[in-house]
Amino acid sequence: EPEAIAEPEAIAEPEAIAEAVEVTDA
């Protein structure tokens, strides 16, 4: 999601990325 890329914090947190992947998968 563009939002995740727009937020450096999400990139700094591997957990946030994992959650984003789960949401996308769902």
2-18: pLDDT as tens digits: 665 666 665 556 776 77
Number of structural domains the chain divides into: 1
Q: Could you say which DSSP state residue 24 is in?
A: H
pTM of the model: 0.26
Is the dihedral angle over the CA atoms 4, 16, 11, 7 positive or is it negative?
positive
Letter for the amino acid at 26?
Answer: A
**Structural domain of 18:** 1-26
What is the reported pLDDT for 26?
Answer: 62
The Cα–Cα gap between 2 and 6 comes to: 6
Q: What is the DSSP letter of 17?
A: H
- Given CA atoms 8, 9, 13, 18 in this order, what sign does their dihedral have? negative
